[in-house]
Amino acid sequence: MKITRISVWQVDLPLGEGSFTWSGGVLDAFDSTLVRIETDGDVIGWGESCPLGPTYLPAYAEGVRAGIAHIAPYLIGEVATSVTTLNLKMDSILRGHPYVKSALDMACWDILGKTSGLPVSTLLGGGDATSVPLYRAISKDTAERMASRVTEYRSQGYSRFQLKVGGDPNVDIQRIFSVAEVLSPGETLIADANGGWLKHQAARVAGAIHELDVYLEQPCRGWDECLSIRRRTRLPFILDESIDGVDALLRGHTDSAMDMVNIKVSKLGGLTRAARARDLSVEMGLGLIIEDTCGGDIATAAVAHLAQSTPESNLFASTDLNGYVTRRLADGAPRREGGEMRASNAPGLGVEPRLDELGLPLLEIS
């Protein structure tokens, strides 16, 4: 089943709460790229890649589309279901830039599932889970408003909360304490700095909150800085931005640098490599957060399939990316049910994009 055409759309995904603030800036909409891959067997696959602005990782929205325009001509005529071979092919055409390749890889998994008659979650390992626990990210704000968000999100079924910090340590300490005070028994809090603290700031925060029941996620940008904080705190430790592939996971295991890792699909280059990193993390006995940088219905579907095929003993949480945005682009996408979501049982990703909503593609290559 060979690739005959690749089409690309740019879509804006407005945020339901107006804006989202984290240590890297403020966003009021996500700039996402959708990809459709057509084959000579009349099977079509869909993928999505949506960086969290240009300051989060070495990735940006326009770069997704420019990179796909460069790679796509070389993929015409390739076998769509040979995902490992296609990843090697993409690497030979464009070195690095995993976020560019993610949507293409995702679309090929969609095709593989449809061709085999199986949901992608089954192809990625199956598992006994029937749903995926979700966390809710709380945008940076005053300590009082961030605490009030917990009550709001709790009413929607969430019991896991990721608090965005990574600025003034005095303010962040107040934020963490204020939110911790309103948690109910059984609820979980993550303080996620997204690498926003310098080492001395992270050390102050970690020292101030050391008696709280809270996870500390990616306090500093650099590996050595994070490892320094890890070695001076008793708090359970999560690495996210630092985990960009298998090499980082192996180094983390050697250094005992983390208790849990955040696997983002596009950060690693698509489902193929994200699943590889997931499986290695399971063998290392790590907890897992499975998600993506951001996105809409298609990215959420891919995340749900990868998360639902992860052993329940290792899976800490995932996130309903499409729960943060107001625009619906596909039928069949997972939706939050209480504090959980479920991957589709239909073959492939189980989503059917609304072409009337997408309009004409920005780019077509055949």
Model pLDDT for residues 80-97, shown as the tens digit of each residue: 999 999 999 999 999 999
Provide φ and ψ at 114, rounded to 5°: -65, -35
pLDDT on residue 38: 98
Half-sphere exposure in the Cβ direction for 235 (13 Å, CA): 31
Q: Whole-angstrom Cα distance, residue 43 to residue 255?
A: 45
**Mean predicted confidence (pLDDT) in 20-32:** 90
CATH (residue range 122-352): 3.20.20.120
Name every residue whose Cβ is closer than 8 Å to that of residue 307 and which is 6 or more positions away in sequence: 132, 290, 291, 315, 318, 343
Domains of the chain by residue range: 3-117+354-365, 122-352
Q: How many CB atoms lie within 10 A of CB 304?
A: 30
Q: Whole-angstrom Cα distance, residue 98 to residue 76?
A: 19
The residues annotated as belonging to the active site are 164, 264
Interval 101-134: pLDDT, tens? 999 999 999 999 999 999 999 999 987 778 999 9
Interval 244-275: pLDDT, tens? 999 999 999 999 999 999 999 999 999 999 99
Q: Is 254 exposed, middle or buried (0-12, 13-18, 19+ CB in 10 A)?
A: exposed
Residue that the structure tokens 């690693």 belong to: 268
Half-sphere exposure in the Cβ direction for 111 (13 Å, CA): 31
Nearest to 292 by CA among 6, 37, 47: 47
What are the C-alpha distances in Å from 201 to residues 97, 182, 252, 272? 31, 25, 22, 37
pTM: 0.97
- How would you classify residue 245: left for phi > 0, otherwise alpha for psi between -120 and 50, otherwise beta? left
Superfamily of domain 3-117+354-365 in the CATH hierarchy: Enolase-like, N-terminal domain (3.30.390.10)
Q: How many residues does the chain have?
A: 366
Q: Whole-angstrom Cα distance, residue 166 to residue 202?
A: 8
- How would you classify residue 241: left for phi > 0, otherwise alpha for psi between -120 and 50, otherwise beta? alpha
